A and B are shown apart, each in its own frame.
Chain A
Amino acid sequence: MPRLHFGDWIEDLVGWLQSHLTWLFDLVNTVLGGMYDAVDTVLGGGEPLLMAGVLAVIACWLRGLLPGALAFVGLALIDSLGLWDDAMDTLSLVLVASVITIVLAVPLGIWAARSERVSAQLRPVLDVMQTMPAFIYLIPGVMFFGVGTTPGLLATIIFAMPPGVRMTELGIRQVDGELIEAAEAFGTSPRSTLARVQLPLALPTIMAGVNQVIMLALSMVVIGGMAGAGGLGEQVYSAITQLKVGLAAESGVAVVILAMYLDRMTGALGRRVSPLGRRAAAKAAVAAAGRFRLAHYKPGGAVAVIGVVILALVAGGMNLAGSGSSKEASAGTNVGQGKKINIGYIPWDEGTATTYLWKELLEQRGYETDVKQLDPGPLYSGVARGDIDFQTDAWLPTTHKAYWDKYSAQLDDLGAWYGPTSLELTVPSYVKGVDSLADLKGRGKEFGGKIIGIEASAGMMGTLNKSVLKAYGLEGEYKVVSSSTSSMLAELDRSIEKKEPVVVTLWSPHWAYGKYDLKKLKDPEGAWGEGEQIHTVAHKGFAEKDPTVAKWLKDFKLTEQQLTGLENDIRAAGEGHEQDGVRAWLKKNPGLVNKLAPVPGAAKAQGKDAGKTVNMGYFPWDEAIAATYLWQNILEDRGYKPNVKQLDPGPLYTALAQGQMDVQLDGWLPTTHKEYVDRFKGKLDDLGSWYGPTSLELTVPSYVKGVDSLADLKGRGKEFGGKIIGIEASAGMMGTLNKSVLKAYGLEGEYKVVSSSTSSMLAELDRSIKKKEPVVVTLWSPHWAYGKYDLKKLKDPEGAWGKGEQIHTVAKKGFGQEFPELGGWLKNFKLTEEQLASLEVEIQKGGAGNEKESARRWMDAHPGIEDELAPVAG
């Protein structure tokens, strides 16, 4: 049976949609997000008890005094559980999703009822919508719309739609055929029949469908919590994944209260709107008259409206009075000035701890933060999309390898803050005689032949199956059961409770080691591989958006002692008070705030010669542009007035010699610019070299294995198609290559140097790297390609390329006297290859015309560079 690559097609489709229909997704995002925000503002805006009052009055109007009172009690209970805001978020989600669903479903149902063809075609679609597991479109939803309400709303709409359509269709179809015929016989048009006969009679069924839609929406909203839809769903989800049964139950109760409220209200509304329902209600009222008159009292519409309006006005007024007292960071440390930073975290202890630590730090620095708990998948895709700015819990290189590989192009690794971690199999310490992985052999029966794993997608599961079991010969004996982290922990908890033997996959650091008495199994074979590091991962470009925070995060480090201390304080503070725990811990560690998040130096220090004009020239070579614009920025900061002009080498040297130009930064000496320097001898000052040696070389992408030196090329010509991609045939290095390099390594017959142009060479390099094909090109250092691609310069043990050059700063005669301070700076100016390459890449990315801004971005990403290059005393 041939394998049908259905999954691949879907992935291609998702990729295509992602790249081609962004505008559509953005539009949907804006519309749905806007609707949600509007509803949420209204519902979540008021004082909880007053809002509960408004909802209770509505219940009163629809169902009577007693149900109204019960509604108030239930809603007040939600408030007392501290879940009011979440409940209102959820209610908003449900209302928006339901309204959209009904607006779509009822017309569809009518259409299906009137056309057999539509009905037949709709049926399988509805089946898919109803039965396709929601996760399958929830996660792509995150890819399209980012973490937040929209994917949750969409998943809800898809899931809740079928009963709306089906019940509408059913309701209309089950209207007695004779009634339709009667209507027709009296000359009613089809449209009019729908309005006069079918819809009124189908209304009870349609309202039952609406009720179903709302109930399903509510149940789906909880699942939407996984995609960051917020509200009670998020609470339930985060509680369950952390095994906080109590919190989960509280949130669950809140969901139930909302569900009952919505169910009873839509039911009552159904009776209100349908004529048959009104009749039944009137009959019931007559029957019940006399008994419990007060409990059955229902205010008329007018009374209810007045009640709602009064409560709403009071709520609105209190809301206005209440605003304006939001806390502010003190002026001096207000770095963020209200800038919003979104942080996401996986509910692992170290993730929670550091996330709330940074939330506190950032808030102290005047940032606004939004913290969201997510599963690794949505989290990474959220960071990749930029919905989430950073997350602190990336286990690399193993655990999160799959995510990292998938999204690394849109992510920036801000470095590790903790490590090494370890992965292990763990047993409760009451399991005797099992101390090392090797001890597991032969005792499979005791453990039921099972190793309780975590999510099948986790990297450590792969390692376990692929190498650990093999290394200790456990393959046949044990089966790795993949479930989820929370199920694994639940299983561990259950087993420990019953004192049953169990072996689970676990990792350090993990709170389970603190909670239970566990034994990590030794790994003498080293099958788990080396420990990992916990990295902070940010959205690509976060460093440009917020260099200060990026710098803080890059410098972020915690020792094991600090981490456990922080985790303990957070646990001590208890559920829902993580930030208080962080504050307590920070109090115990004075000075740490300033160490972790130093406030950058206040006003820029002025140079001694501030105000002086400096004329800088450059010719359009990458490193010249880079260095010149870098200095332009620095000099402006220091109060100088730099003028920058592009010239060809000849005119530039001439202008320097004549004193019209003050300085240029790209003097290739002793070879390339020898001619000019010799000609204007005595009229120029050499301020020294800032980069070097430069080099010419052949280069291969680093995925080409086994080729590290020019000598290695020998005998592998076929692999490279016998070609070395060169540049312009006229370039000096091409001559050197043909005349001496090939000869020195005996590559003459095997390789042909293809001369083209610098840009074609770079294009060929880019193409080959995209396809992962082997390629060898002529290149030189410094070059931005080294910053952009992962390349390997081939070593030249024979020295066939000759000696490298130095890049000098060349100034007009007497520059040192005229600009003593700047002269000193330039004399000490040095860039490493990495610095220069990244600066060039930044300028490349910024595009022509934005060189100055690009250089400024690079400086922001390298905080401190300015003081290093242009130190100001005092």
Chain B
Amino acid sequence: MSSRLEAEHLYKVFGRRPDEAVERLREGADREELRADGTTAAVIDASFTVEPGQIFVVMGLSGSGKSTLLRMLNGLLEPTAGHVRFDGQDLTAISDRELREVRANKISMVFQHFALFPHRSVLENAAYGLAVQGVPRAEREKRAGEALALCGLAGWEKSWPDELSGGMQQRVGLARALATDADLLLMDESFSALDPLIRRDMQDQLLQLQQTLKKTIVFITHDLNEAMRLGDRIAVMRDGRIVQTGSAEDILLRPANDYVASFIQDVDRSRVLTAAAVMDEDTDGDEIGCACETATTDTPFTELCAISARLTHAVAVLDDKGKLVGRVPRQRLIGFLGDQQGEPAPCDNPRGTRDGKVIANA
């Protein structure tokens, strides 16, 4: 049973008199003013909720405070103000010893540069969390072995971390995090140090594992594609503040401000958008009159294009009960791809009159 993670008005200020700085931030002072006084506001008023079993991605550029935010979630950094609630427990209100208990049993973490212990074998690394919990050697080696197998590393137990490739090392890191059976998995740019191909493999593997394990995951990344691919919900951070929280489509289609908008410019929309986001819900009802191919709301954008190419008319989108919920004309597909929505402007030299054909709405 996974648990719900809540962050409530989290602040983290480094430097002198942090509490005073928080007050000033609440009164509307901005980050630059504080910096002049030598204090750094790393996270400002961050609030969000992660539902059980969700992957929550925090996305932002370096220096946006995302790593600091992550470290407050398991108490590696103590918030200057605000609360973190997990599994019905306020992590900001408990003692160091209790906090260590929580970290040992309920929250585990995967690091950007793997952070494997070079003086321990792969098996010993995977078993580290269990060793801290005090699990007897035989059992922890069995469970660590299972976790390694789950991550595709069966047979590498006796190896040493420096003998493995980067991707394999991160699998060990993942296995180490999974071996403790923690509900909450914190992943700090865990795939950023990997080659693009390997990164994609790891993303696939994470999604695949998540289907069976149903962990609550907070994933930090600076790569919007990765965020869109993994995140059930995404928070975009800028200068310590969360500027927008929402699903991938929310971010992509309804950017909260120019910053987010500029951010999503380079995103490969075709990988993110589904029929539900593209379709025109204003249906005539005649699209299902024929026996032509249809799409569902979950159909990815690329597949939608393929269907559209095979049809002469707009693609009908059905929900899971087979009911018509929308239609996707070809014009709309092209508009989404070019981020140009709305009706096309009329042509000042309409070639259509000369040829006697109408190209638009084809």
Contact = CB atoms under 8 A, between A and B. Distances in A.
Interface of A: 176, 178-179, 181-189, 192, 196-197, 200-201, 274-276, 279
28 contacts: A178-B111, A178-B113, A179-B117, A181-B111, A182-B111, A184-B76, A184-B103, A185-B74, A185-B103, A185-B107, A185-B108, A185-B186, A186-B128, A186-B132, A187-B104, A187-B129, A187-B132, A187-B133, A188-B100, A188-B104, A188-B132, A192-B132, A200-B119, A201-B117, A201-B119, A275-B119, A275-B120, A276-B118
Among B101, B107, B113, B132, chain A packs the most CB atoms within 10 A around the CB of B132
**Interface residues of A, dominant DSSP:** helix
Contacts of B74: 185
B105 A187 contact: yes
Contacts of B101: 187
B145 to A, nearest CB: 18
Contact of B115 (A176, A275, A276, A279): A176
A274 B128 CA distance: 19
A186 B76 CA distance: 10
A186 B186 CA distance: 11
Contacts of B128: 183, 186
B132 A201 contact: no
B127 to A, nearest CB: 11
Given A178-B111, A185-B108, 9 more contacts: A178-B115, A181-B115, A185-B186, A186-B108, A187-B103, A192-B132, A197-B117, A275-B120, A276-B119
B243 interface: no
Nearest to B131: A196
B217 interface: no
B160 A186 contact: no
A178 B173 CA distance: 13
Given A184-B76, A186-B132, A187-B132, A179 B104 contact: no
B160 A279 contact: yes
Contact of A186 (B112, B113, B120, B180): B180
4 pairs of A and B residues whose beta carbons are closest in the complex: A187-B104, A187-B103, A182-B115, A185-B109
Among A183, A186, A192, chain B packs the most CB atoms within 10 A around the CB of A186
Interface string B136-148: 0000000000000
Among A178, A183, A185, A279, chain B packs the most CB atoms within 10 A around the CB of A185
Nearest to B176: A186
B288 interface: no
A197 to B, nearest CB: 6
Interface in B75-117: 76, 97, 100-105, 107-109, 111-113, 115, 117
Contacts of A188: 100, 104, 132
A196 B105 CA distance: 18
A213 to B, nearest CB: 23
A178 B115 CA distance: 6
A178 B118 CA distance: 12
A20 to B, nearest CB: 45
Interface string B171-191: 000001000100000100000
Interface string B309-322: 00000000000000
A501 B103 CA distance: 83
Contacts of B108: 185-186
A178 B161 CA distance: 15
Contacts of A192: 132
Interface residues of B, number: 29
A176 B74 CA distance: 20
B12 to A, nearest CB: 16
Contacts of B118: 201, 276
A120 B47 CA distance: 40
A333 B132 CA distance: 76
A189 B76 contact: no
Contacts of A176: 115
Contacts of B160: 279
A181 B180 contact: no
A187 B100 contact: yes
A783 B101 CA distance: 86
Interface of B: 74, 76, 97, 100-105, 107-109, 111-113, 115, 117-120, 128-129, 131-133, 160, 176, 180, 186
A189 B128 CA distance: 13
Contacts of B111: 178, 181-182
Contacts of B186: 185
Among B108, B115, B119, B132, chain A packs the most CB atoms within 10 A around the CB of B119
A204 to B, nearest CB: 10
Contacts of A279: 160
B314 to A, nearest CB: 52
A741 to B, nearest CB: 85
A179 B119 CA distance: 11
Contacts of B112: 178
B115 A179 contact: yes
Contacts of A184: 76, 103
Nearest to A179: B115
A184 B129 CA distance: 10
A250 to B, nearest CB: 45
A196 B76 CA distance: 18
Contacts of A183: 128
B286 to A, nearest CB: 58
A187 B99 CA distance: 8
A185 B112 CA distance: 14
Contact of B109 (A182, A189, A274): A182
Contacts of A200: 119
B143 to A, nearest CB: 14
Contacts of A187: 100-105, 129, 132-133
Nearest to B109: A185
A178 B117 CA distance: 10
B76 A185 contact: yes
Nearest to A185: B109
Contacts of A275: 119-120
A196 B131 CA distance: 10
A274 B118 CA distance: 12
Contacts of B103: 184-187
Contact of A189 (B100, B120, B176): B100
B11 to A, nearest CB: 21
A201 B119 CA distance: 7
Contacts of B119: 200-201, 274-276
A197 B100 CA distance: 17
A749 B73 CA distance: 100
Contacts of A196: 131
A202 to B, nearest CB: 10
Contacts of A186: 103-104, 108-109, 128-129, 132, 176, 180
A274 B119 CA distance: 9
Nearest to B129: A186
A275 B119 CA distance: 6
A263 B208 CA distance: 55
Nearest to A178: B115
A216 B32 CA distance: 53
Contacts of B115: 176, 178-179, 181-182
Contacts of A185: 74, 76, 103, 107-109, 186
A176 B162 CA distance: 15
Contacts of B132: 186-188, 192
Nearest to A276: B119
Nearest to B74: A185
B147 to A, nearest CB: 13
Nearest to B107: A185
Contacts of B133: 187
A477 to B, nearest CB: 66
Contacts of A189: 97, 100
A178 B114 CA distance: 9
B177 to A, nearest CB: 9
B76 A181 contact: yes
A187 B91 CA distance: 13
Nearest to A203: B119
